[in-house]
Structure 1
Amino acid sequence: MTIFNLFRRSGQHAGQNNTLSEDGVDSRDNIPKYSESTISTPATTENSVVSRTESPTGSLESPSLQKPEIDLELEMVPMAPETHGRLGSWRGSMILLVTSGSQFLDNVFMTSSNMALASIQEEFGVSSTNLQWMISAYTLAFGGFLLLAGSLSDRYGRKMILCLGLFWLTIWTLAIGFGQSFIQLTIFRGIQGIGASLTVPSAIGIISSYFTGVDRTRGLSIYAASGTVGFCAGLIFGGFLTSSLGWRYLFYLIPIIPGCLGILGLIVLPKDREATKDRQRMDYLGAVLSTVGLILLQFVLSSGGRYGWGDPFIIVILVLAVGFLVGFVIYEKYISNPLMPLSLWTIPNFAGLWIAGFTCYGSYQNIIYYIVLMAQKVDGLSAGDTAIRFLPMGAIGFIVSLGTGKLLEYINAKYCLIAGLVLSVVAAVPSAATATLTENFWINTLATSLISISAVSFIFVTTSTTILTSVPVEVKSLCGGMLNTAFQIGSGVALAISAATTSAVDIQKGHGLAQQYATGLWCSTGFAGLGLVIGVFAVRRKGASPKDRLGGPVAV
């Protein structure tokens, strides 16, 4: 079954003297010079795909019918998106500010709360086991709703979903600050995570559809860089604010940022296209199956180590999670309006890049978990001192992200991917090798922090850019959600493997904290090594060159 048939607006040919604004809009009638739309007719939906070719003069020839080899066949050829946005224009800069600002905030919310955990535990008298729910509640909702959020963005409008997510974050972050019990804080954190999940796919979709060619690559690299800055800003802001004014001010002051970004987004973000009258119904059952399955899987991965992997409760939840996800895949195969078209997985390099993101981000989050603990519990640093020492990490991440975007303008994306995966493999080695030898942060933690942030910057920019230039505009947000789902699940899997290994190898034998952290870090190396092997063989150079990424996909 053909899912996407994209074509350029046939009423506007190269021979017409249309006047374009800086955003590629015809100034006479305010209509985009080129647009993409979906063909879905009984004559072409089941057995054929409409193919439109462009003559040397730029005009469109008559469509022809041909038998497809796969359900969704996409080629990397130049194609004009809905509007032509320039990164250097005032509006392009404002759009990038809103979208990258949302990525910045998602990482601030993730890391700043870590710095407030000790104060929250002291105020509410929470046990160490239950304290983790302040983090887990956010990641459960964030990872569980990403796929649904991506589909909603593509279906109902990226601008609407992004602004909704930003205002949602504003409200529920404030609610956390006013919470009067730990249960309230945990519930509000989970609801806050839903807002974060709404911002990620929509922001990625806006960048990848509004900008083209080199501007798209640079926009995605800036988006990735804002995440690394947000990670470090969260540590610093959370550490200093918690130790000075108190942890509640963390949730009183941060909402100012998403509130302002939401208002700015309503003004500057490109207008959502109006829904067509013949739009198919939303795949509600698929949405329920995928969301519940992902939330249950995230719960098992984040809680298995605390409850015990042999606990009947964890086993039942895991079986239910797998059942929901398998049921989702089977259901999507047989319906006409799937939430996640399975044909996306047949796009060249899509699966390989997804797995690369899964393993690299999992390894990265596992490393961060252990080196932060090492800095505080082995090296004896306070929260504020730890935050200061991680400043170089944020700077390096920002530089490498922007540099990767520049490199992708000249070299094949596979080479950047392999470079990132190799760095992922070696990132944990310095800390793992020196953890038991010294209690000096600059020796046993700094090198690993800089290598790991460089690795994840390479991988994030490369996977995002390559995947989002090989799918139709109608599913860019969905694919952004799928890629970030890989990141979230990978993080949970890596931490679960490390926790189980550390428990068996060190904790049960009474080994010290430094030895436990070293074992967890060696697990990161193994996890990243798996990704490197898969990346080498599953990702091809074909379709990943700079020339391929200058345009976009078109169905043929």
Structure 2
Amino acid sequence: MTQVIRTPVDASDGLRLSQPAGRWVVVATALGAGLVLLETTVLNVALPPMARDLGTGMAGMQWTVNAFALALTGLILFGGALGDRYGRRRIYLAGLALFATGSLLGGFAPDIGRLIAARAVQGVGGALLVPGSLALIQAAFHSDDRARAVGAWSGMSGVAGAAGPLLGGVVVDAAGWRWVFWINIPIAAVVASLVARHVPDAGGGTAERGRLDVAGAVLAAIGFGGLTYGLTDAPGGGPIAAAAAAVGLLGMAAFVLVERRAAAPMLPLELFAVREFSAANLASFCLYGAVAGMFFLLPMQLQITAGYSPLATGLALLPITAVVLVLSPRTGTLVARAGPRTLLTAGSVTCAAAALLAVRIGADASYPAEVLPVVLGAGLGISAITAPISVTVLSAVAGDRAGIASGVNNGVARAAGLLVVAVLPPLANLPQDATHNPEALDRGFDVGMVACAGLYFLGAVVAWWGTGRIRRAAR
């Protein structure tokens, strides 16, 4: 049978969410973005047994998380620019292939060094996947349906991420932590097939005619890499950690200078002149940084301090999946009707309350009284923040800059997670042997949750102040 590839859609007409073709676009793009989220949350549950098997401590676990986040953060803007220039579907499929390759290598990694390298390969794939996912949605749908399509996209991709803890617990208990990587390979193959069959390609606009900003990509990677190394090794790194942080700061300063002068910058700084765009990205930094920090420490606290198995940890976090599944698809409609400000602020405050409640989780924690309120609150809050941020970012820019805008926002969110995971353990005074020291982990966990609550509250303030005028554009 001859396979039919649909032709690109005219953005002035566009698909409707009520059409089967429109729903297929949402499914295919959300699954790809969800694969990146899934790997993050699956891995968090697998970290303690992984650390025991490979003989590593807190720094090894941080780098297992941050190697992925570093590659993703440093290259995500470049990935958006590649999609705008060479075709978003083509780059999206290349990202799937790289992500699957990194997953294969990670499953076979014999030591922590090669596992970290495999995670970096996954991150490069994610940098091509994530900005293209939302940009394909923006280009394919009629303007009247974009907010609802983004809501459906965020709900489906969010469910994939929220399902990660349970899936990770089942996989680790049944087959071992290496299968946390190998399960990505058949999923990536299915997603690639759906994208090739159902997703129309969408090139960019003026960005297609510019030169690729290779210097900006290199400087961003140097900046984030230096800062991450310096923050991660700060407790015992001495002069080397300080030098790495200094190199990172210089790299970031050089990045800003290059972007200001580049003919076709990877990060068009003029986008930040739009108040709503700047506010949404600042809120993203606070909120997604807090989410990353919270779910880096919470599975460890449940397993090491409270004595849960990986499967019990996944089951404990299951209500997040249920809440996100039920509520996230509806948030796009709410944003289209009322604008993002109220929903985003309420979700941020709810997440902050959940983080403060988490300090009650300790040794022999009662699930109904101490754990369940935290995961329910987190699920409610996360459901409420994802679609409003995405809609605000995309509504603040012209349609032909969707790839860049999506890349910027995702880059900000990933940078926040990268830096928070790097700085939270030293801030909380967690020792390298925290995986074998429940008392020290318990003390540091409380400090970490209070810090995450502070970030959530700051995100609420930014959201309330900065997104009030976007209601008409969102509608």
Asked whether the equivalents of residues 148 and 291 of structure 1 are also in contact (C-alpha less than 8 Å), the reply is no
C-alpha change, 1:209 and 1:401, in structure 2 (3 Å) is: same
1:548 aligns with 473
Provide the C-alpha distance between the structure 2 equivalents of 1:274 and 1:400, rounded to a whole number of angstroms: 32
Instruction: Specify whether residues 109 and 208 from structure 1 end up closer, same or farther in structure 2 by C-alpha distance, changes over 3 A only.
Output: same
Equivalence for 1:336: 263
Sort the Cα spacing of 1:353 and 1:207 in 2 relative to 1 into closer, same or farther, 3 A.
same
Q: Where does 1:59-138 land on structure 2 (aligned, <5 Å)?
A: 81=11, 83-138=13-68
Residue 531, structure 1, aligned to residue 459, structure 2: yes
Counting only pairs closer than 5 Å after superposition, residues 116-265 of structure 1 correspond to structure 2 as 116-265=46-195
Residue 521 of structure 1 pairs with residue 446 of structure 2: no
The separation in 2 between residues aligned to 1:519 and 1:120, in whole angstroms, is 25
Over aligned residues, Cα RMSD in angstroms? 2.9
Moved more, 490-499 or 512-521: 490-499
Q: Aligned partners of 2:350 and 2:53: how far apart in 1?
A: 41
CA-to-aligned-CA distance 1:98-137 (integer Å, 9 cap, x gap) = 1100122112211223343444445444455434433222
CA distance in 2, matches of 1:515, 1:120: 23
Question: 2:218 aligned with 1:288, yes or no?
Answer: yes
Whether the aligned pair in 2 keeps the contact of 1:208 and 1:469 (CA below 8 Å) is: no
Any conservation in 2 of the 1:429–1:525 contact (CA below 8 Å)?
A: yes
Aligned partner of residue 209 in structure 2, secondary structure: coil
Aligned to 2:356: 429
Deviation at 1:533, TM superposition (A): 2.7
Larger helix proportion of the pair: 2
Once the 2 structures are TM-superposed, how far is the Cα of residue 345 of structure 1 from its aligned partner?
Answer: 0.6
Q: TM-score, normalised by structure 2?
A: 0.89
Q: 1:390 aligns with which of 289, 297, 317?
A: 317
Deviates more, 1:132-141 or 1:162-171: 132-141
The one-letter code sitting in structure 2 at the alignment partner of 1:297 is L
Deviation at 1:521, TM superposition (A): 0.8
Give yes or no for contact 2:289–2:417 (8 Å, CA) kept in 1: yes
On the 8 A contact 1:161/1:199 being kept in 2, the answer is yes
Output the amino acid matched with 1:501: L
Change (3 A) 1:265 1:143: same
What SS does the corresponding residue of 1:140 show, helix, strand or coil? helix
> Which residue number in structure 2 is paired with residue 400 of structure 1?
327
C-alpha distance in 1 between matches for 2:207 and 2:263: 17
Distance, in Å, in 2 between the alignment partners of 1:535 and 1:528 is 10
Q: Structure 2 vs 1, CA of residues 160 and 300 (structure 1 numbering), >3 Å: closer, same or farther?
A: farther
1:36-55, aligned counterparts within 5 Å? none
> Residue 212 of structure 1: CA displacement?
2.9
Long gaps (5+) in structure 2: 1-5
Contact 1:108-1:230 at 8 Å conserved across structures: yes
Q: How many residues align?
A: 466
Q: Which runs of 5+ in 1 are unaligned?
A: 1-24, 35-80, 551-556
Q: Structure 1 residues 259, 523: closer, same or farther in 2, change over 3 A?
A: same
Q: 1:493 to 1:283 in 2, by over 3 A?
A: closer
Alpha-carbon distance change, 274 to 146 in structure 1, aligned in 2, over 3 angstroms: closer
> If you compute each CA radius of gyration, which structure gives the higher value, 1 or 2?
1
Question: Which residue is equivalent to 2:399?
Answer: 473
Matching residue of 1:553: none
Corresponding residue SS for 1:410: helix
Q: What's the CA shift for 1:343?
A: 0.9
Counterpart pick for 1:416 among 308, 324, 343: 343
* Structure 1 residue 146: Cα displacement: 1.1
Q: Deviations over 1:154-199 (max 9, x none)?
A: 1221111111111222222122223344432221221111101211
Structure 1 residue 448: Cα displacement:
1.7
Change (3 A) 1:95 1:240: same
TM-aligned CA distance change 1:175 to 1:317, over 3 Å: same
Residue 257 of structure 1, CA deviation: 0.8
Is contact 1:300–1:314 with CA below 8 Å preserved after alignment? yes
Q: TM-score, normalised on structure 1?
A: 0.77
Q: Using the TM superposition, give the Cα deviation of residue 483 of structure 1 relative to its aligned residue in structure 2, in angstroms.
A: 0.9
Instruction: Answer whether contact 1:298 1:492 (CA < 8 A) is retained.
Output: yes
Displacement of 1:472 in angstroms is: 1.6
2:66 and 2:422 in contact (8 A); partners too: no
Partner Cα distance (2:35, 2:25) in 1: 15
Residues 274 and 209 (structure 1), Cα distance of their counterparts in 2 relative to 1, 3 Å cut: closer
Write the deviation string for residues 208-250 of structure 1: whole angstroms up to 9, x where unpaired. Answer: 1211344211221222223332223322222222222333333
Amino-acid identity (%) = 24
CA contact (8 A) 2:136 2:202 kept: no
Q: What's the offset of the Cα at 1:421?
A: 2.4
Pair 1:500-2:460 in alignment: no
Aligned match of 2:3: none
Question: What secondary structure sits across from 1:270 in the alignment?
Answer: coil
